[in-house]
Amino acid sequence: MFEGKNGTNQNKIDDLGDDHISTSAQTPLRADAFKMSNEDKIKAIEADFKHILETLGLDLTDDSLKGTPRRFAKSYVNELFSGLNPAAKPKLSTFENNYKYGEMLVEKNIVLYTTCEHHFLPIIGRAHVAYISKGNVIGLSKMNRIVDYFAKRPQVQERLTMQVVQALQQALGTPDVACVIDAKHLCVNSRGIRDIASSTVTAEFGGAFKKDSVKAEFLDYIKLETDYNIK
C-alpha cells in the first residue's frame, strides 16, 4: 500500500478513478490553464505523446506512425478538449417569448461525444434537455451547442449533466431546466469489467422539474418515437 504526497493513499486514488467518482461540479482547471497558446500546447503534447509511443516500443519512423503524435496533439487541443477554453463557449442569446408558449420545450436525442477524465476513453451517448420559459426562449441549436461545449473536455457524466443545466438556467433566467443523459462508457465497455451492454443514465432536475408530475411529463416526452425515416 503506497502513501502518496500529503498522506494520500494511492489505492484510494485508483479506486476513485475506477469507480468514476467526481470530486467537483466544476471542471478542475489550474489558474494558468490558458497562458500557453494552442500551438504551444500542441507542440508540448506532441512531444509527450511521442515519448509515450516510443516507450510502448512503436517505431515512429514508420509512415503510418510518424505523423501520429502531432495528429493526436491537434485533436486534443482543437477538437476533443476545446470546451476547456471559456472563449469557445457558445453565445447563448435569448429572445422574448412573444408567442407566450407556456409549456415545456424538449430537445431530445442530442448526440454527445465526451471523454472520461479517469481513463481518457470515449463516452458516447445522447442528452435530452428541457426548459419551461419564464419570459425568455433560446434557439434550439443553442441547446445542442451547450451540450457539445461541455462535452468537449475531460468529464464525468454527473458533472456534464449538471453543467448543461446550470448554463441554461443562467442564460434563460429560470431554474426550470432539466437534463437526462444516457451514455456508454468505453472505460467500462472495453476495459475492466468489459460489460459491452451497460449504459449510464444521469439526470439533473431544476425548479419545476423537481415536481413529480412535471418530471414524469418530461420523461414521457423522451420516450416518444421520433424516427421519421427522413432521407
Catalytic machinery residues: 116-119, 157, 185, 187
Angle at which helix 140-151 crosses helix 157-172, to 10 degrees, equals: 140
Helix (H, G, I), strand (E, B) or coil at 56: coil
User: Exposed/middle/buried for 80, CB within 10 Å: 0-12, 13-18, 19+?
Assistant: buried
C-alpha dist (Å) from residue 35 to 43, 46, 48, 150, 152: 14, 18, 19, 21, 19
Put residue 6 in one of left, alpha, beta given phi > 0 → left and psi -120 to 50 → alpha.
left
Query: d(Cα 193, Cα 195) in Å, to the nearest integer?
Result: 6
Helix (H, G, I), strand (E, B) or coil at 125: strand
Residues 6+ apart with CB under 8 A from 6: none
DSSP state of 91: P
Q: Radius of gyration (Cα) for the chain, nearest Å?
A: 20
User: 182 has which bridge partners?
Assistant: 126, 201
